[in-house]
Amino acid sequence: MANTGTDKSASMRVLVYSDDASVREQVRLAIGRRPAADVPRVEFVECATAPAVLKRLEETRIDVAIFDGEARPAGGMGLCRQVKDEIFECPPVLLVVGRRDDRWLASWSRADKVVGHPIDPVALAESLAELMRDRVRRLAAAR
Chain segment 85-137, per-residue pLDDT in tens? 999 999 999 999 987 777 777 788 999 999 988 999 999 999 999 999 999 99
Q: Helix 121-142 and helix 21-31: axis angle, to 10°?
A: 70
User: Taking 70 as the threshold, does the pLDDT of residue 3 lie above it?
Assistant: no
| Residue scoring higher pLDDT (2 or 25) | 25
Report the pLDDT value the prediction gives residue 4, as an integer from 0 to 100: 44
Closest CA to 95 of 70, 119, 113: 113
The reported pTM is 0.91
Tell me the DSSP string of 6-63.
Answer: SSTT-EEEEEEE-S-HHHHHHHHHHH-S-SSTTSPEEEEEEESSHHHHHHHHHHS--S
- Domains of the chain by residue range: 11-136
CATH, domain range 11-136: 3.40.50.2300
Give pLDDT tens digits for 5-56.
445 458 999 999 999 999 999 999 999 999 999 999 999 999 999 999 999 9
Which bin fits 116, alpha (ψ -120 to 50), beta or left (φ > 0)?
beta
Mean pLDDT (the chain, rounded): 91
CA distance 12 to 2: 7
Report the pLDDT value the prediction gives residue 9, as an integer from 0 to 100: 57
Report the pLDDT value the prediction gives residue 143, as an integer from 0 to 100: 81
Q: What pLDDT band is residue 2 in, cutting at 50, 70 and 90?
A: very low
DSSP helix/strand/coil, 140? helix
Residue 114 is classified by DSSP as: E
